[in-house]
Structure 1
């Protein structure tokens, strides 16, 4: 009796159809990237006699890995929304996307990278220098989105957060407001700090305020946002004798909880105080009142990501940083 591994053996091992195994092993469309990877890995482990397909070459030439920190898995408002556009754009260029959620503290290089040496790696959001170093041992074609790596020569696509903070503030100034506050825990994120610096510079350029004249809610804000603790912010707001005419917020979640706290204190939004957020999160349009916000179009980011990594794969490129400018989306909270 022959000991040769068959498609039926692989199908039984994974509890999938023989047709699904055939599609994956013959490099055809019709199964998800995750299932394709499972089938290819099982086939390799079982010593399936590949004839038409060299599994490693297929993964290397046609598969991109998108890495997202596992704590962002539930953040449907931004990174997973961006991921959908990246998958769509990758399909146009003939790439498959395999998504890896990784643990920041206990990082292990994904098997699809360490064993199969995929075509390229896209990192969404913050990542440590140590993890980048580990990834570069297997693949030099890495592009980071929304996070810069100063110690490595790595391609990056980032938002001009300083400009975003500046534009938010200037947008309110052009509406006739002078007393403008800021909300966001600036030390918790490089992006937040840059947005604050943009806001502050705009205020200085227009009004030359003294340091004590800035009304900034920064301490403990992230914890309050995560716990939906609007009462914490409500109490902070009560310490000010005069409320600002408007607030610039580091993101839409901060904006939403500030609105709730202000409403609890008896203020009407936007009649009494204007609020502008950042990121154009999924809920911002349906929020009451609908949130004015800033955004770099996610589809634009996805196009830049895939086109750039395609160039990196097929040409001799020099790492570069692409900086995108955000645009104001005006809604009810500032009208």
Structure 2
């Protein structure tokens, strides 16, 4: 039978008080360096695990945070969660991750469940369906720290961390223009979130700056609530594009799933990339080089977004700065050019 080593056991073994052991493990300045090292060495040697719940009760905290994301089946989100996990591990906090599946109703239920569980703060990347943030605002007003990451919205006044979506879209569209493309289509999502509006605006601005008319028929917003509906929307959009008299010679796609699925659908429909149509899009998939052809991408600093968002949340939880000003941080993107957007004859 396993016996978990307690503070009392360590105190008895080292002939020290329980209070001294506790202070040493918490790196208190009241304890000398030699004593502190003796305690830490013994604790490590005997696999001492602190009682997180007891510590939390003493501090008046649960030592857990809630994270609400659209889906775990997403390269960008998985990388952001790695960044969040790194910070939480360093802080000895546990993460409770919940998925909204792009549903406003499910997102609200996730947040209510997390709040009922006594979490110390929430990190949220809102669902595409969400237009009403009142439930989140009311929790924030009650004192619960909330930080937005990846998908940002103006309706909530707090720290926000994301990618520079406008610049990413601008640079991707500019890359296509510089390669000689003029009829550039855009595939986005039907949401009010900044992730969609900023990428659309970046695309439009790049066209305008290069004297290229913005054609409404080359901008389609897809239903993002499920894989089946997204695939159907994308195939319908591509067929519509390619049936135009003045059809597109390139497509800029706005999200991870749209980018990779668009490549699959174009191949399925028999279009040669980039000979018939070029393609570049936002995606952090590690398989971009292995795709047919290798996919040009706008890569987001996903790990860094998650890490910084978590750090911002802990600054609110720990109230390091009572008069802390909220800030929106947009991290730089990286356009990675591959074969799908640069034919040799252009």
Compute the displacement of 1:152 (Å).
3.5
1:144-166 deviation per Cα after TM superposition (whole angstroms, max 9, x unaligned) = 11233433321111323222221
Distance 1:290 1:182 in 2: 19
Distance 1:233 1:328 in 2: 25
Q: What does 1:159-198 align with in structure 2 at a 5 Å threshold?
A: 159-187=163-191, 189-198=193-202
Distance 2:62 2:87 in 1: 16
Distance 1:133 1:21 in 2: 43
Identify if the C-alpha distance between structure 1 residues 272 and 191 changes in structure 2 by more than 3 Å, giving closer, same or farther: same
| CA RMSD in angstroms, aligned pairs only | 3.7
Distance 1:138 1:92 in 2: 27
Partner of 2:275: 271
1:229-273 deviation per Cα after TM superposition (whole angstroms, max 9, x unaligned) = 364245313421243332111123323333344334543112332
Aligned residues between the structures: 295
Identify if the C-alpha distance between structure 1 residues 252 and 299 changes in structure 2 by more than 3 Å, giving closer, same or farther: closer
Partner of 2:220: 218
Distance 1:162 1:18 in 2: 56
The structure showing larger relative contact order (alpha-carbon pairs under 8 Å, at least 6 residues apart) is 2
Distance 1:111 1:248 in 2: 38
Partner of 1:9: none
Q: What does 1:72-91 align with in structure 2 at a 5 Å threshold?
A: 72-91=70-89
Say which of 245, 249, 255 aligns to 2:253: 249
Identify if the C-alpha distance between structure 1 residues 224 and 216 changes in structure 2 by more than 3 Å, giving closer, same or farther: farther
1:84-111 deviation per Cα after TM superposition (whole angstroms, max 9, x unaligned) = 2210232234433232446731634556
Question: TM-score, normalization: structure 2?
Answer: 0.70
Distance 1:98 1:219 in 2: 32
Contact 1:78–1:282 (8 Å) recurs in 2: no
Partner of 1:237: 241
Partner of 1:3: none
Contact 2:187–2:221 (8 Å) recurs in 1: no
Say which of 315, 325, 334 aligns to 2:321: 315
Distance 2:161 2:235 in 1: 37
Partner of 2:28: none
Partner of 1:104: 104
1:332 aligns with 2:339: yes
Distance 1:65 1:21 in 2: 29
Question: TM-score, normalization: structure 1?
Answer: 0.72
SS state of the match for residue 78, structure 1?
Answer: helix
Identify if the C-alpha distance between structure 1 residues 114 and 231 changes in structure 2 by more than 3 Å, giving closer, same or farther: closer
Partner of 2:123: 122
Distance 2:204 2:113 in 1: 45
Distance 2:330 2:61 in 1: 28
Unaligned runs of 5+ in 1: 1-16, 41-52
1:306 aligns with 2:310: yes
Contact 1:234–1:265 (8 Å) recurs in 2: no
Distance 2:58 2:115 in 1: 13
Once structures 1 and 2 are overlaid, which stretch shifts more, 296-305 or 128-137? 128-137
Identify if the C-alpha distance between structure 1 residues 18 and 153 changes in structure 2 by more than 3 Å, giving closer, same or farther: farther
SS state of the match for residue 184, structure 1?
Answer: strand
SS state of the match for residue 135, structure 2?
Answer: helix
Distance 1:235 1:31 in 2: 62
Contact 1:157–1:322 (8 Å) recurs in 2: yes
Partner of 2:64: 63
